[in-house]
Amino acid sequence: MSAPDRRRGRRPGTRTGARPARARTPKGRVRVGERFEAEVGPVAHGGHCVARLDARAGEDAGRVVFVRHALPGEQVVLVVTEGSDGDRFWRGDAVEVRTPSADRVEAPCPYAGPGLCGGCDLQHVALPAQRDLKAAVVREQLARLAGLDVDVTVEAVPGDDEGLRWRTRHHYVDLPGGRQGMRVHRSHEVVEVDDCLLDAHRPPSYDVGPHTFAVADGGFWQVHPGAPGVLVESVLAALAPRSGERALDLYAGVGLFGRFLADAVGDTELVSLVEADAEAASLSAENVPGAEVHAGPVEQVLGAGVAPEVDLVVLDPPRTGARRPVVEQVVARGPRAVAYVACDPAALARDVATFAELGYELRSLRALDLFPMTHHVECVALLEKVGSDLG
């Protein structure tokens, strides 16, 4: 989804002048708008599949194109949406499917498809197959970036309606006359949308189990109604907290995990939370009364010596991941277990590789479909010291 924008929108099937999301200097002849036939290859991270143009493309044979609106194994006609002769790869949309996959379905939303709303990547894919594709991406990222062969299954989460009506916070682009729209993929162009089928049309609930959380207007909270509960369940199952253990909740938000860690270890004073956003940190102190709460960038706060020894750590970083400096600071505290909550499998895999260098191995992984119809997937990984007791 995109931030509000006052640019003039368009109705489905009509176009205003498209503007790319990033200005790029073409490397040679621009190929945007050209059509090619291709067989679609494997799914890749980012909501597309990889196609390599064959001999039918003439001098362009061998060119890699990241194709949206396609499925592995399909024969399609694609249109190049970004690319020039000097680029390493192109981007494209499948605009005609010659040989469809058995997993292809009619998109439930009339605004999904090439040149239309960019909010969903996978509406053309049957829901079980969507989860299989996401699992394949998680496996591939862990294999390529962390050297691990991990069996991954993406689980459905209660709270959506067959992958629809799950988004409890939704932002449209404001259009003239009180109309609303959504942006085209990688563009400032806008599609007028009467109703997004992901929009749950209700305020989120901030009740999780026995606790009610204070959250700022517009502050971060999981948008899938089933997400907070299942994430807490997954983190606690992974860490198996024991009474009296010391816990550290990093990128704590408003203290969702910290509150339940405090319950599990028996004393809020045994829990420390770190959150960069000052308002969210203040709410963490309200939601986890008695806990030690620090406002500031995680790397800086840890570098100042906060919570020098802990038994348990929860990491819930932004899409870019925790990165090496934070991972090193976590390992320096000697936790017996780390639960890593990840919204990006590539960032997770890079950080898992860093943990491995520093003596912590991936022991378990749970993948959750918190964002149906999109390529996004949430993972909860358990990392423990190499050679530590599995029991």
As annotated, the active-site residues are 343
DSSP 56: G
Return the number of other C-beta atoms located less than 10 Å from residue 380's C-beta.
23
Compute CA 91 distance to the chain's CA centroid, rounded to the nearest angstrom.
21
How far apart CA 54 and CA 172 sit, in angstroms, is 40
DSSP 116-127: SB-S-S-TTB-H
Cα 112 to its chain centre, rounded Å, is 19
Report the C-alpha gap between 58 and 151 in whole angstroms: 39
Q: Quickly list DSSP for 323-342.
A: HHHHHHHHHHT--SEEEEEE
* 208 in Cβ contact with 229 (< 8 Å): yes
Residues linked to residue 187 through DSSP beta bridges, in sequence order: 20
Question: In angstroms, what is the C-alpha Rg of the chain?
Answer: 23
Strand order in the sheet with 247-250: 154-155, 360-368, 378-385, 337-342, 312-315, 247-250, 271-275, 292-295
